[in-house]
Amino acid sequence: MVFDLLRDYAYEFYEQLAPCAKVAVIGGIVIAFYIPYKYWTTRKRQTPIKNDYKQGYKYLIKLIDLMESMVYLYQFPRVKHIPSISPFCLKLETWLRMADIQYENVCSWTIRSLEGTLPFLEYNGKEYPDSTLAIRDMTAIFAKESMENHLNDEQKAIARAFEAMAENSLAMAVGYFRFAEHLDDLFQQLPKQAFGPLTPIFKILLKMRMTSKVCVS
């Protein structure tokens, strides 16, 4: 009740402002929330995050029976109708399932890799950022067969070109469609408690961030 009254009062006050004052107010609010958000997601933290190293099932690697530690997959929290709003998180988790590697999800809106990105893996106390590089490294560590083994050099080059186009160009178009043009639809897929009363602020931040990314690219 009190929150509703404060919201209505703030809205009435905002509507009485001049256009330039409205811009200044919005800019001030965005900056006030963006600075602590940026600090929180890029701050120095301990590594590894997980220190318990849960024991998974045994893998037979080079005829030696080894007990391997759990792979931790850090990604965005689940949403209503799809496993992840990030195609890169979805890509990495799908590969882990296809490769039959035991893993545990660690979902968070604020945790980032030491490089400031999501998703990333943590295995035996070491971080593996970037979905493509993480897949490459896990393929080697767990002695898994590469998905490109059946391709010749020319076919591998073509596959890499399509992968780069999808991740560097088409992903930007999808991101703009989702985070800028249809942002309200996206937030309807999130849990109601995801951002709480700060939802309008995060909408503005996401739209600004995605728009700037598209302009730069």
CATH at residue 63: 3.40.30.10
Residue 114 token pair: 């030491």
Q: Are residues 131 and 165 in the same domain?
A: no
Residues 6+ apart with CB under 8 A from 189: 79, 80, 81, 82, 85
Place of tokens 């728009």: 211
- How many domains is the chain partitioned into structurally? 2
Q: Are residues 137 and 197 in the same domain?
A: no
Residue 125 located in a structural domain? yes
Higher pLDDT residue, 90 or 202?
Answer: 90
Q: Are residues 100 and 67 in the same domain?
A: yes
- Say if residue 149's pLDDT is above 60: yes
Question: Could you give the C-alpha distances from 134 to 21, 22, 65, 149, in angstroms and in order?
Answer: 47, 45, 24, 18
CA angle 167, 171, 177 (to 5 degrees): 180
Q: Are residues 64 and 125 in the same domain?
A: yes
Higher pLDDT residue, 5 or 130?
Answer: 130
Q: Are residues 90 and 164 in the same domain?
A: no
Q: Are residues 136 and 180 in the same domain?
A: no
Residue 161 located in a structural domain? yes
Q: Are strands 120-123 and 126-129 parallel, antiparallel or unpaired?
A: antiparallel
DSSP for 57-125, please give it: EEEEETTEEEEEEPEEEEEPPP-SSSS-S-HHHHHHHHHHHHTT--EEEEE-SS---TTS-S-EEEETT
> Among residues 116, 141, 166, which one ends one of the domains?
141
Question: Could you give the C-alpha distances from 150 to 78, 97, 144, in angstroms and in order?
Answer: 34, 20, 14
Q: Are residues 160 and 135 in the same domain?
A: no
pLDDT, tens digit, 9 for 90 and up, residues 78-132: 888 888 888 999 999 999 999 999 999 999 888 888 888 899 999 988 999 999 9
Q: Are residues 137 and 158 in the same domain?
A: no
- Say if residue 55's pLDDT is above 60: no
Residue 61 located in a structural domain? yes
- Say if residue 133's pLDDT is above 90: yes
Residue 14 located in a structural domain? no
Burial classification of residue 195, based on how many CB atoms lie within 10 Å of its CB (0-12 exposed, 13-18 middle, 19 or more buried): middle
Tell me the one-letter amino acid at 26: I
The torsion angle over the Cα atoms of residues 86, 91, 97 and 101, rounded to 10 degrees, is -100
pLDDT, tens digit, 9 for 90 and up, residues 19-37: 777 667 666 766 666 666 6
> Among residues 141, 162, 191, which one ends one of the domains?
141
Residue 5 located in a structural domain? no
Q: Are 20 and 185 in contact (CB under 8 A)?
A: no
Q: Are residues 168 and 123 in the same domain?
A: no
Residue 7 located in a structural domain? no
pLDDT for position 62: 38
Mean pLDDT of the chain: 77
Residue 109 located in a structural domain? yes
Residue 79 located in a structural domain? yes
Q: Are residues 125 and 67 in the same domain?
A: yes
Q: Are residues 135 and 193 in the same domain?
A: no
Q: What is the DSSP letter of 129?
A: E
Polymer length in residues for the chain:
217
What is the span of the domain harbouring residue 185? 153-216
Q: Are residues 64 and 119 in the same domain?
A: yes
